[in-house]
Amino acid sequence: MIDVVLIDGGGANLGSVRYALERLGARVRISVEPAVINSAARVILPGVGAAAVGMARLHELGLVEVIRTLRQPLLGICLGMQLMYESSEEGDVECLGLVPGRVTRLAPRDRITDAPAVRVPHMGWNRLRAVRGHGLLADIDDGAQAYFVHGYAAPVGTATLAIATHGCDFSAVVGDGLRFGAQFHPERSAAVGARLLRNFLSEAIA
């Protein structure tokens, strides 16, 4: 049984992420204690809401440097993934700096009418397209669908493992060393989400 700590950053999805992991046989704790976080085999940073609020809470809890210096695999989910980037346009806030790039508003516009080209926030199921092979994506078919809820998105870059498209391409899954992120909600993405979480718990990404 692998030991997982969920960082309590105030996200409303903590409970559902915990249950999804427990269904996979993980031992899950929710904590803001640095010693507890550092002792875990895997750490997950869930999150919903705004980047500036999320970073303010991490600073308030004294967890920014704790997260930056983790030596075990870390997975950011939704806002948690966005906070792993260098900065976010949402609130013009400096983030954790674990993944290169800046998160920007997901608001592509029609080139002719300048009207919004797609509905924002992006809510619902969307296809994943792998851009490079990785253990985090093992047994997830190219074109498999996952569930998204977000109004900001990370660019496609060197850390991108899979992309999705909503008006434009954006990073749906990222990986940089032992730092990973899923823009979609694996806890709400049925078999695809369960597989990604199982892969994160496996030795393939350690």
166-201 residue pLDDT tens: 988 999 999 999 999 999 999 999 999 999 999 999
Sheet with 152-153, edge to edge strand ranges: 93-94, 85-88, 99-105, 152-153
**In this predicted model, what pLDDT tens digit does every residue of 43-57 receive, in sequence order?**
999 988 899 999 999
For the domain bounded by 3-205, which CATH number is listed? 3.40.50.880
Distance CA 12, CA 62 (A): 20
Residue 116's pLDDT band, with cuts at 50, 70 and 90, is: low
Query: And the tokens for 21?
Result: 């992991």
94 is catalytic: no
185 is catalytic: yes
Domain boundaries, the chain: 3-205
Region at 49 (left for phi over 0; alpha for psi -120 to 50; beta for the rest): left
168 is catalytic: no
Block residue for tokens 């498209």: 165
Per annotation, catalytic residue among 90, 122, 134, 187? 187
